[in-house]
């Protein structure tokens, strides 16, 4: 859990799919990992462009949804960064379509 990049893993498959809504990541809004232009690594976070879920990459680069407890355990700066990306997602993602 976290935002470290100490253990690089191979580039994420472009077929990574949101576990919540099934939306396929297409690179339109890759959020946090684009700050330095690096590839996606285990434990990197992203926001689903469609349902706004906070997703965490696993070692095999599939994604799982972050739980509320996990979110609450993040440093305040990271929580704020994720909320900011969600806000941008709601405003600008052409895919944004929350189901709940």
16 binds Zn ion (CB under 5 A): no
Interface residue with Zn ion, options 16, 20, 25, 33 (CB under 5 A): 20
Dist CA 15 CA 70 (whole Å): 25
CB of 55 to Zn ion, least distance (A): 8
Dist CA 44 CA 55 (whole Å): 8
CB of 64 to Zn ion, least distance (A): 12
**Nearer to Zn ion among residue 37 and residue 94 (C-beta):** 94
**Nearer to Zn ion among residue 53 and residue 82 (C-beta):** 53
Going through 13-52 in order, the beta strands assigned E by DSSP cover: 45-47
CA triplet 95, 100, 60: central angle to 5 degrees?
60
Contact between 28 and 49 (Cβ < 8 Å): yes
**Residues lying near Zn ion in the complex (CB under 5 A):** 18, 20-21, 23, 48, 50-51, 53
């Amino acid at each position: 859990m976290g935002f470290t990049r100490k253990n690089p893993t191979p580039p994420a498959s472009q077929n990574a799919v949101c576990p919540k809504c099934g939306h396929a990541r297409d690179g339109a809004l890759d959020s946090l990992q684009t700050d330095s232009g690096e590839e996606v690594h285990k434990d990197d976070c992203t926001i689903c462009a469609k349902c706004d879920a906070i997703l965490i990459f696993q070692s095999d680069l599939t994604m799982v949804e972050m739980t509320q407890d996990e979110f609450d355990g993040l440093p305040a700066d990271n929580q704020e960064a994720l909320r900011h990306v969600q806000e941008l997602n709601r405003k600008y993602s052409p895919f944004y379509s929350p189901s709940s």
